[in-house]
């Protein structure tokens, strides 16, 4: 039997060392064991633990969902970066074609096509990966699509949900998908104080909201305010600092911009009002000239 002190040293060494060199450490330890039976026991225990680890390690998928009028180049950039920074995450870009603005501005029935397309893809993904953890990163109109799917579809289960540039209504009832097990993990909302598109969309009588400008202020959602416009989130710095910790273990790294988010929101409303007023004034001037 190895000296008990050696075993304690081994334990401390394994605790302090990176996991990718644990095998080398144990192999070095085995070379110090003289008793063949003890060596065989440790080797069997090591092999069994490795096989159990493989058996219980869940597959982790991250779905990327884009907005309207977009070829979603950011999806490939995010996937390439995640391969380097988080290789244990399998990234799946998902889309519904280049959705035109006129349909986005249409009545609810005109949005059924992209919603059903994403719903069917998520059902297929869930069915073919029953033991996987599926997280979703959605932007802009993609956030609206996810909110509609999660209202009633019990065939879809996702772990974590990350939305940015969200046009989901601020009073969305997150208790519904959570209580029905459609979302089992954390939810975070990255929103920007320079993102005026959700604010504009919320003024239309079409069921959209301004959560991408105000946040949700809901107990189940962690709002994270940034100095960003509508599509400013897709940088390497933002991905590494804010998104990878969340996608890996649900940890939210809060931005310093959260400290004064209400002040910036008030400024944003004022700026939007001034821009809209100028637009109306210019249109009225040209109408006067033409008439």
Report the CATH number at residue 219: 3.40.50.1820
Cut 0.75: pTM above it: no
Task: Give yes or no for a contact between 229 and 197, defined as CB atoms under 8 angstroms apart.
Answer: no
93 and 156 in a single domain? The answer is yes
Residue 281: CB atoms within 10 Å: 10
Assigned domain for 257 exists: yes
Q: What are phi and psi of 11, to 5 degrees?
A: -60, -45
34 and 64 in a single domain? The answer is no
Mean pLDDT by 10 residues, the chain (291 residues): 54 67 69 73 62 60 88 86 90 82 69 91 94 95 96 93 97 96 96 89 88 95 94 93 93 88 59 59 64 60
193 and 83 in a single domain? The answer is yes
CA dist., res. 138 & res. 140, Å (int): 7
Provide the 8-state DSSP code for 158: B
174 and 240 in a single domain? The answer is yes
75 and 107 in a single domain? The answer is yes
Cross-strand bridge partners of residue 91: 62
| Predicted pLDDT at 221 | 97
Which residue has tokens 């005026």?
196
CA dist., res. 116 & res. 105, Å (int): 18
| Predicted pLDDT at 54 | 46
| Predicted pLDDT at 260 | 67
């Amino acid at each position: 039997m190895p000296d008990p002190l050696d075993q304690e040293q081994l334990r401390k060494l394994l605790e302090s060392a990176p996991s990718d060199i644990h095998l080398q450490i144990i192999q070095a330890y085995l070379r110090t064991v003289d008793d063949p039976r003890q060596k065989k026991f440790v080797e069997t225990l090591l092999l069994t633990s490795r096989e159990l680890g493989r058996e219980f390690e869940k597959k982790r998928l991250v779905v990327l969902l884009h907005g309207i009028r977009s070829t979603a180049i950011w999806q490939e950039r995010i996937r390439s970066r995640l391969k380097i920074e988080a290789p244990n995450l399998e990234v799946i870009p998902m889309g519904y074609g280049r959705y035109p603005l006129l349909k986005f501005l249409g009545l609810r029935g005109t949005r059924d096509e992209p919603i059903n397309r994403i719903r069917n893809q998520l059902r297929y993904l869930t069915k073919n990966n029953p033991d996987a953890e599926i997280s979703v990163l959605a932007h802009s109109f993609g956030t609206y699509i996810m909110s509609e799917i999660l209202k009633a579809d019990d065939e879809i289960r996702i772990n974590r949900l990350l939305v940015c540039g969200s046009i989901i209504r601020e009073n969305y009832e997150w208790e519904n998908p959570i209580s029905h097990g459609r979302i089992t993990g954390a939810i975070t909302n990255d929103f920007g104080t320079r993102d005026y598109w959700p604010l504009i969309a919320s003024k239309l009588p079409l069921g959209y909201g301004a959560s991408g400008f105000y946040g949700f202020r809901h107990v189940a959602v962690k709002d994270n305010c940034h100095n960003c416009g509508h599509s400013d989130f897709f940088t390497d710095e933002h991905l590494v600092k804010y998104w990878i910790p969340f996608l890996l273990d649900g940890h939210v790294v809060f931005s310093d911009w959260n400290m004064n988010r209400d002040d910036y929101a008030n400024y944003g409303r004022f700026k939007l009002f001034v821009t809209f007023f100028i637009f109306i004034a210019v249109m009225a001037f040209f109408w006067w000239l033409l008439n």
